[in-house]
């Protein structure tokens, strides 16, 4: 359920027509629905109400400060993967004791910052990282809380780029090596082992991989307990998919119904890291058609948004529905490539897409663009990044300003020898 609906053939975000936002803010721009963000967070939170849990919102999906502040107000923590994300989380008011730090390449500066900030724990991905955290904590005269990330070698049945739970992945510690690694961690003087983490991938549309993964790690939790290494937190990660096109992923309540008995069996406090399922369908990218180009063999709708604004179609061949902002009943359909101005053949938002006939000046809404969209944006081709807008009922708020040309060169310097 999301709050982007047609009202008298005009697509709106909550109570504001997208055409109005285009007039006020220009295009392209990202637009997020406050009501959808709230509804989706609460759907996850309520689904798991029967087990003690912390929702650590996966910031890599959407790290805008206003979105993070909304998550914090709803009781969320954060799943972070960099020192920059830790900085953002704290600035947005997310409690440090609800922050978990994942990622395979944490440097000493980031580790120190996280220990100073007293985060809940690190998700440890390797022996080398464990040693680095121990060394940094020793230099600070502190103990660092950690959860070892176990790779259960489960096929999540998703795109290989976002599959993280198989043995060939760069993520986590192999299940066959995990027990020895936990014992090593427990023996380190500046490490406190508090949890086990198992995240197997993103955009999962079936429940069975979650069940298979949990079934594997429950046995390990019991073995660790028997060896005097009690696990306080079980971090089940995130990864529940959303509908981009014709997918029919399980709802949070369906997932909770399937895995809650296993979660209770663990006797741990549960940490979960949803991201896409909360923000994915809560945002759109609004763009305008600049030109129509007909080569005789293919029609192109050239729009003012590009792969630097939304790279998922180019990177993953990801599908995003594209809807006309003004819907004209019985309008003829045509097959278009929807492409941007970037100087790359890979710059497209859709290929061979059957859609209502569009013309120059038409507004289009690229749907399901709330997750892994703006966070992956760049300034390629020296294109300023676009604004982000939050809609709440009849009000809209600019939560990130459109970048200017001056913003593009901020921080750059020409050495004196080149100016003489």
Which residues does the annotation place in the binding site? 239, 273-276, 312, 316, 344, 372
* C-alpha to C-alpha distance for 202 and 224, rounded to whole angstroms: 28
In three state form, how does the secondary structure of 205-241 look? CCCHHHHHHHHHHHHHHHHHHHCCCCCCEEECCCCEC
* C-alpha to C-alpha distance for 288 and 360, rounded to whole angstroms: 8
What tokens were used for 43? 């759907």
Cα distances (angstroms) measured from residue 162 to each of 125, 157, 158, 169? 16, 10, 7, 10
* C-alpha to C-alpha distance for 36 and 26, rounded to whole angstroms: 23
Please name the residues in contact with 274: beta carbons below 8 A apart, sequence gap of 6 or more: 44, 55, 57, 58, 238, 240, 252
* C-alpha to C-alpha distance for 332 and 340, rounded to whole angstroms: 23
Binding-site residues for substrate, in ranges, read 276, 312, 316, 344, 372
Task: Give CA 206 to chain center in angstroms.
Answer: 19
DSSP letter at 27?
Answer: S
Active site residue 343: yes
Beta strands in 357-394 (DSSP E): 363-366, 388-392
Say whether 255 sits in a helix, a strand or coil.
Answer: helix
Backbone angles phi, psi at 194, to 5 degrees: -120, -15
Beta strand 363-366 pairing with 322-324: antiparallel
Given 3-state DSSP classes, what are the helix, strand and coil percentages for the chain, each rounded to the nearest 5?
A: 35, 25, 40
Please name the residues in contact with 10: beta carbons below 8 A apart, sequence gap of 6 or more: 17, 18, 19, 325, 326, 327
* C-alpha to C-alpha distance for 400 and 408, rounded to whole angstroms: 15
Nearest one of 237, 309, 317 to 277, comparing CA atoms: 237
Catalytic entry in 13, 29, 268, 343: 343
Binding-site residues for pyridoxal 5'-phosphate, in ranges, read 239, 273-276, 372
Backbone angles phi, psi at 338, to 5 degrees: -95, 115
Active site residues: 343
């Amino acid at each position: 359920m999301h709050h982007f609906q047609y009202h008298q053939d005009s697509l709106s975000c909550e109570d504001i027509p997208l055409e109005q936002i285009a007039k006020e803010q220009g295009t392209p721009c990202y637009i997020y629905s406050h009501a959808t963000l709230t509804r989706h967070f609460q759907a996850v939170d309520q689904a798991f109400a029967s087990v003690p849990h912390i929702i650590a919102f996966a910031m890599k999906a959407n790290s805008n400060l206003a979105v993070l502040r909304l998550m914090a107000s709803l009781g969320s923590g954060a799943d972070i993967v960099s020192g920059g994300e830790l900085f953002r989380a704290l600035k947005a008011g997310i409690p440090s004791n609800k922050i978990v730090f994942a990622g395979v390449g944490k440097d000493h500066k980031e580790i120190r910052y996280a220990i100073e900030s007293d985060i809940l724990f690190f998700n440890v991905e390797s022996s080398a990282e464990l040693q680095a955290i121990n060394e940094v904590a020793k230099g600070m005269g502190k103990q660092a809380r950690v959860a070892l990330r176990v790779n259960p070698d489960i096929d999540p049945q998703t795109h290989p780029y976002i599959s993280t739970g198989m043995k060939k992945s760069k993520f986590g510690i192999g299940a066959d090596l995990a027990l020895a690694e936990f014992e090593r961690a427990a023996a380190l003087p500046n490490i406190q082992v508090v949890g086990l983490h198992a995240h197997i991938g993103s955009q999962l549309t079936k429940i069975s991989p979650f069940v298979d993964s949990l079934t594997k790690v429950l046995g390990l939790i019991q073995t660790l307990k028997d060896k005097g290494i009690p696990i306080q937190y079980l971090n089940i990660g995130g990864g529940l998919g959303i509908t981009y096109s014709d997918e029919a992923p399980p709802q949070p309540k369906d997932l909770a119904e399937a895995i809650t008995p296993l979660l209770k069996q663990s006797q741990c406090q549960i940490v979960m890291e949803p991201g896409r399922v909360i923000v994915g369908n809560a945002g759109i990218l609004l763009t305008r058609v600049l030109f129509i180009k007909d080569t005789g063999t293919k029609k192109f709708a050239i729009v003012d948004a590009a792969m630097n604004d939304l790279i998922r179609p180019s990177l993953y061949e990801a599908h995003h529905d594209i809807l006309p902002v003004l819907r004209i009943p019985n309008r003829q359909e045509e097959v278009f490539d929807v492409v941007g101005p970037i100087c790359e053949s890979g710059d497209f938002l859709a290929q061979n897409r059957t859609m209502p006939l569009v013309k120059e000046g038409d507004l289009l809404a690229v749907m399901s663009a709330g997750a892994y969209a703006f966070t992956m944006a760049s300034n390629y081709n020296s294109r300023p990044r676009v604004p982000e807008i939050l809609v709440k009922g009849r009000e809209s708020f600019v939560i990130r300003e459109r970048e200017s040309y001056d913003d593009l060169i901020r921080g750059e310097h020409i050495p004196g020898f080149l100016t003489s």
